[in-house]
């Protein structure tokens, strides 16, 4: 019984059996030193003693097991070091999202363990589409890639945060057999191509997270530029100017002029400033970097850095620049208390616009509802090269909006005119957003009903 218990005990703890063995050895030495028997007799007596034999046996087993375990772990380390390779992709790296997408394409179809990312997309008609994107969950996944097995380990550390994004730190580790690191280069390149393909013809909207630009949601299908109906010639003027700018980098470089261009769209709310810029980005196949200057925590330094670190082929959009300094509803004391600490100052913005650190190829759009509230220094040439007023609807604008909305009517020409005349006759300024809202309300109606309803609905607005 003692013998068997000892074995169980040994297998559980080599440390105890080691001391057990040592104690047996000491006992043997003690026996040899103080016994009056000759040494051979002592040894044969001990050999016949089952307890003593078991003790030595256990000592041997424990020692053997310890050595085996140590050998196995050292062997594994050596094997991993010499015959395997790993690639760690931390969540802060640009390729992280690409690699996740790649793993999703390769593994998420087969794996049963997924995590979900839900996005909402608002259509022009106001309907909201919900899409679920499945990603491989936190844990280990196995992928076969070009005949090789790759282990993908996605981990999330609850204790440490990505300070820039304020989300738990995550990373993906790819492990593969072999030493040829080009395997990882190929995977990263494939992941990049895959990501570019899904974004083809789509606009990526970036927002500032800490001092970095991060894609916000999934790439959006851009609305056609023609769907944003502006007054005669405005859209064409801006498009022509920006296309000329993009096509002529050398013109700027040869003349030593910084390769950047600033635009200011001003006018009442709901007239299409933001929609136009987004549609324009889609037309040019550019992304949009959205920045809210009145965001708490956006300091001059951060703004400066963000302006220089905008991703390639993007338009930087600063909305409501008039509301950035001091805030519309903020007392002067509060504004002064926060100045420079957690919000942007005018001089900080001017610095960011044309300071030494500005990146060379930059397209910047600013929007405001109140141009008269802007400091003259902010909109001087060089900082703002083209200003356009995006105002309330003109008659021709309303006609074109009617055309776009009620595409399938034969008599549109006449009807659009009739509708536009009625709206203009009310004498009230009307924004394109209001017209759009009205059309959505009466979408199902006949033209006569639209005209009849118009007066009633308009007045109730």
Least distance (Å) between residue 381 CB and ligand ADP: 24
Least distance (Å) between residue 456 CB and ligand ADP: 22
Size of the site for ligand ADP (CB under 6 A): 15
Backbone φ and ψ of 85, nearest 5°:
-135, 150
Least distance (Å) between residue 150 CB and ligand ADP: 45
Interaction pattern, residues 365-384, with ligand ADP; x per rule: CB under 6 A: --x-----------------
DSSP 372: G
* Closest chain position to ligand ADP (CB): 272
Please tell me whether residue 423 binds ligand ADP under the rule CB under 6 A. no
Please tell me whether residue 436 binds ligand ADP under the rule CB under 6 A. yes
C-alpha angle 434-436-437 in degrees, rounded to nearest 5: 65
Please tell me whether residue 230 binds ligand ADP under the rule CB under 6 A. yes
Encoding tokens for residue 122?
């608002």
Is 266 strand, coil or helix? strand
**Rg, Å, the chain Cα set:** 36
Strands 260-266 and 287-292, sheet pairing: unpaired
* Cβ pair 459, 432 in contact under 8 A: no
DSSP 318: E
Which residue number, 1 or 407, has a Cβ lying nearer to ligand ADP?
Answer: 407
Q: Which of residues 120-159 bind ligand ADP (CB under 6 A)?
A: 124
For every residue of 121-166, which 3-state class applies, written as one string?
EECCCCCEEEEEEEEECCEEEEEEECCEEEEEEEEEEEEEEECCCC
Least distance (Å) between residue 420 CB and ligand ADP: 14
Strands 205-209 and 114-122, sheet pairing: unpaired
Least distance (Å) between residue 271 CB and ligand ADP: 4
Which residue number, 151 or 369, has a Cβ lying nearer to ligand ADP?
Answer: 369
Q: Select from 32-40, 83-91, 273-281, 422-430 the region that touches ligand ADP (CB under 6 A).
A: 273-281
- Answer for which of 174, 420, 432, 442 binds ligand ADP (CB under 6 A) is 432
Residue listed under structure tokens 């074109």: 400
Residues in contact with ligand ADP by CB under 6 A are 124, 228-230, 269-275, 367, 432-433, 436
């Amino acid at each position: 019984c003692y013998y068997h218990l000892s074995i169980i005990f040994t297998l559980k703890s080599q440390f105890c059996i080691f001391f057990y063995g040592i104690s047996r050895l000491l006992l043997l030495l003690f026996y040899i030193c103080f016994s009056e028997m000759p040494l051979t007799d002592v040894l044969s007596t001990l050999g016949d003693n089952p307890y003593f034999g078991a003790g030595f046996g256990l000592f041997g087993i424990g020692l053997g097991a310890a050595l085996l375990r140590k050998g196995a772990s050292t062997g594994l380390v050596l094997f991993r070091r010499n015959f395997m390779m790993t690639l760690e992709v931390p969540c802060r790296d640009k390729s992280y999202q690409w690699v996740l997408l790649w793993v999703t394409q390769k593994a998420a179809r087969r794996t049963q363990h997924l995590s979900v990312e839900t996005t909402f997309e608002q259509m022009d008609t106001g309907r909201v589409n919900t899409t679920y994107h499945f990603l491989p969950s936190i844990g280990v996944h196995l992928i076969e890639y070009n005949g090789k097995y790759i282990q993908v380990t996605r981990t999330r550390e609850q204790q440490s945060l990505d300070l820039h994004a304020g989300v738990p730190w995550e990373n993906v580790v790819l492990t593969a057999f072999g030493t040829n690191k080009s395997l990882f280069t190929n995977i990263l390149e494939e992941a990049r191509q895959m990501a570019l393909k899904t974004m083809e013809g789509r606009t990526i909207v970036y927002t500032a997270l800490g001092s970095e630009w991060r894609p916000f949601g999934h790439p959006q299908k851009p609305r056609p530029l023609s769907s944003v109906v502006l007054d005669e010639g405005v859209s064409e003027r801006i498009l022509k100017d920006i296309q000329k700018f993009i096509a002529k980098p050398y013109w700027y470089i040869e003349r030593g002029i910084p390769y950047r261009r600033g635009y200011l769209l001003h006018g009442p709310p709901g007239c299409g400033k933001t929609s136009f810029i987004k549609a324009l980005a889609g037309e040019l196949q550019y992304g949009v970097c959205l920045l809210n200057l009145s965001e708490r925590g956006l300091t001059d330094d951060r703004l400066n850095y963000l302006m220089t670190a905008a991703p390639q082929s993007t338009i930087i959009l600063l909305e409501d620049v008039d509301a950035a300094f001091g805030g519309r509803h903020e007392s002067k004391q509060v504004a002064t208390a926060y100045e420079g600490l957690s919000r942007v100052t005018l001089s900080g913005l001017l610095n960011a616009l044309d300071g030494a650190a500005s990146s060379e190829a930059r397209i910047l759009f600013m929007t405001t509802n109140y141009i008269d509230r802007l400091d003259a220094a902010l909109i001087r040439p060089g900082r703002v090269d083209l200003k356009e007023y995006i105002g309330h609807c003109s008659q021709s604008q309303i006609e074109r909006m009617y055309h776009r909305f009620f595409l399938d009517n034969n008599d549109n020409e006449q009807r659009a005119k009739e509708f536009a005349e009625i709206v203009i006759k009310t004498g009230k300024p009307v924004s394109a957003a209001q017209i759009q809202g009205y059309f959505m309300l009466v979408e199902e109606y006949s033209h006569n009903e639209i005209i009849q309803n118009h007066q009633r609905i308009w007045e109730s607005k």
